[in-house]
Structure 1
């Protein structure tokens, strides 16, 4: 009888967990020098203070017509939320009334300029929130967002206010080619995660960038996942070539797809890096 009661109790717990509604993000507005940066905020229950992650979307944008946050970013936001983090997702394109920028030749929102401005504005806004652990604000970005992150953590980009700097930064498959040629370094512990077979970004350039930074800073680390391609951490995405795709939200060339092993390992790497 006791075993039956325990089994029933466990079944009820599992049923309740499965029925729990998905977290709903809160829309927030962040002041810019010209205009407003719209963002989505996932925040734990309670008053905090909470470690907080600024999450930076790729060239496909943050959301879609049907969802304010694409599943790939929602997946990570919910994972970070369960670990006790607040997650702020600024919408660099939608805030400027732009759609996906993956295949746009004349780019008006550049990783090294407007998106760095958005990162600075997001940090400044967070520094004023009572629920934020001000000394535990980190960055995570994907593709174009990761490239913006690399610019934002350079010593030259440090904020001039008295607030704490970013705690850590994690860049998923950024385009490292420009940074590698400019003698990139970082003032923030920065982790680069990329697949060895990534033919959208350039693993050799990222390796060169991080190896070069070691002469100027010991704060950078790179993990290259064997056999993995671009978007390896995105769930339920069969490997496919994008060259013939009409989708404006994907790159013009290369391959995209989930790598289960790399996805699982990257989740561990992210958790450990943010816990530093």
Structure 2
């Protein structure tokens, strides 16, 4: 029995909950992450006044509690984010991808697993800098989705802490943010209006989209799924990308080992040819 658990009964309930998480979110917690998951589950127990994992397990399986389901999704997902994360990717987007997008079309961008919206807002600001704010507002729609309702509510307000703005150019803060409290900044309304946020589990089916996207950002997501689900996800993303469109993953996430229809441009950057 793992030293993490009090007894074999707790270990069985932990495994049952881990299976519930996989079935409902697609998130895979291997053994090396058991400690992280265990402590997150303990936090959920405290929030709902459950005495132990047995009570949590039983409520997940025997009771219809939407609030508990949403809290579990928030607890087990990782929401580490900041503006302008992996700046080289955004530079490539601005210099190499934007010139390939059809000038006569309305551009649709998707920030999958958007967390509190930092990536979506970064894209909106980058487009405002490139096209001009008015043209960007008229030409671009950015969709941000995440499994966590908590972070989506943060995204809706567009409020962020100063430490998450440390990577952005100084004039961005002056032009696109306003101070709203001690160490707190809010994205200006014009940028917020370019972004729409919705709750979506990437492992759910079908996705509720009527149209394909020109560019999809799906960064720091794949390694939370097992290999089979990674393969399925990147193929579904391909189907929801317009011909000539792009997929951006993290530079630490490579599709090279997968059998995929994506054309590799460079690490973390793929195109639908």
- The TM tier, using the shorter chain, reads under 0.3
Structure 2 length-normalised TM:
0.27
More helix by share: 2
